[in-house]
Structure 1
Amino acid sequence: MSVELSGEEPAVRGLRERKKERTRRTIRVEAFRLFREQGYNETTIEQIAAAADVSPSTFFRYFPTKEQLVLADDLDPLLIEAVRAQPLDLSPLTALRNAMADVFANLSATALAFEQERQALVYHVPELRSAIGLEMDRNIEMVATVMAERVGGTADDFDVRVLAGAMTGAGLAIARITPVNPENIGRMLDLLEAGLPLEQRNPGMQG
């Protein structure tokens, strides 16, 4: 009897996890639909729960707040896994470039559109923009940790944190004005690798 149960357990656990992921996804999709139709501030958690056919208490099991529903970045774990899969002889920026290319190459058009809409909400809804600082800190820690693994250092090493801060800050800067896609991320990494060169836009301004 115990052998039979242990054999079924992974399948049961896998089914449960898939159902949880579907519920989580449905909550987010319905929330974003309501945000588009009536605005972020005008949309309540109760409305989101009703649209997703779950109770408010179920909503809170997946997201502690409406804000966190938007801030949750589903690409982070995929990116970390992809970076860790890169050969160790690659430079940190090259590893990150390849990892991002891999993640976006396997992202469906629907998932990409969802991520672009999420980024737009974060940077253009005033109530969400106030949380950008916390998100930046979280991203710096995430990037520093995975980059430190590659160079055999720690996330607190000065050079590792400078790199993590530069990458996170650059990503934050371009997300407000351009779509999140491999081309724009590649341009950002090109500039970082080149030492951030800036050309004079108006030669007449030179004194």
Structure 2
Amino acid sequence: MTLMTPARTSSATDRPQLGLRERKKIKTRTAIRDATYALIKEQGYDATTIEQIAERAEVSPSTVFRYFPTKEDIVLTDEYDEILLHELRARPADEPWMDSVRYIMRKAVDFGTTEEPDVSRLRAQLLVQVPAVRSRMLESMSATGKLLAEAVAARTGHAQDSLEVRVYAMSLIGGLSEITLYWAENDFRDDPLELADRALDVLEHGLTGKESRGQGPRA
């Protein structure tokens, strides 16, 4: 995920417990990402090499490639898709679906922009400025969409591989990705939480005429 980083603010009892091996993997991935972000800030994306990242993270280049197939994946990948989906599945069964989605996405946006604001802005800028990063994001959206489709199917009763669920899941992923691009393209002036609400309003209610925004649909 990019701007939509799932919240780490949930308690440890709410999250899947990780073994020592998985914690070590997360530590290594985090070190690689932190090194990448630092180097990009210092010298730019194109000038940053895998060898430099490996040296800064104190791992071998082969280790970097074992965790991240491409440099773009280092920027785009985070640890929190599963946690986001875990929290989504944990919402009350009788809660309206869009209320659940809105709750989770607002938590995700709030975390990404308040706990890690510099990283969120850097990732958003790279999505706008670097075609390779944006292209890789589009490729990775399908994997995230499949994970979300599983949660959508569980809540709605539709088959996970049905056209309806696939379209709905990818509409959510695509819409939320556009928030990140819009936010960066407009110099981060907008409140990301407001952008998330606007995006979810469109997905929930459709696109109304500009003159009726905020007034509800016309009779």
For residue 189 of structure 1, what is the amino acid of its counterpart?
L
Q: CA RMSD in A?
A: 2.6
1:121–1:177 distance in 2 versus 1, CA, 3 Å: same
AA at the equivalent of 2:195 = N
Tell me which residue corresponds to 1:111: 116
Query: Per-residue deviation at 1:97?
Result: 1.0
Counterpart Cα distance in 2 of 1:112 and 1:152: 37
Q: Does the 8 Å CA contact 1:121/1:128 hold for their aligned counterparts?
A: yes
Q: How big is each residue's C-alpha offset from its partner over 1:32-82, in whole Å with a ceiling of 9 and x where there is no partner?
A: 111121111111100001111112122223212212111213332221111
2:171 aligned to which of 152, 166, 170: 166
Q: Which has the larger radius of gyration?
A: 1
- TM-score normalised by length of structure 1: 0.78
In 2, Cα distance between equivalents of 1:113 and 1:78: 22
> Which of structure 1's runs of 4+ aligned residues deviate more than 6 A?
none
TM-score normalised by the chain length of structure 2: 0.74
Match of 2:49 in 1: 44
How far residue 89 of structure 1 moved from its aligned partner, in angstroms, is: 1.7
Greater percentage in helix: 1
- In terms of mean alpha carbon deviation, does 37-46 or 180-189 score higher? 180-189
User: Who is 1:90 aligned against?
Assistant: 95
Q: Which of 110, 115, 130 is the equivalent residue of 1:125? A: 130
> How far apart, in 2, do the equivalents of 1:62 and 1:138 lie?
16
1:86 positional shift: 0.8
Contact 2:93 2:155 in 1 (8 A): yes
Distance 1:136 1:18, change over 3 A: closer
Q: Say how many residue pairs are matched.
A: 189
Q: Name the % identity.
A: 39
Partner of residue 182, structure 1: 193
CA 1:70–1:191: 2 relative to 1, 3 Å = same
Unaligned runs of 5+ in 1: 1-12, 202-207
Q: Does 1 or 2 have the higher relative contact order (CA < 8 Å, sep 6+)?
A: 2
Counterpart in the other structure of 1:4: none
Q: Any unmatched runs of 5+ in structure 2?
A: 1-17, 213-219
Shifted more, 22-31 versus 61-70: the winner is: 61-70
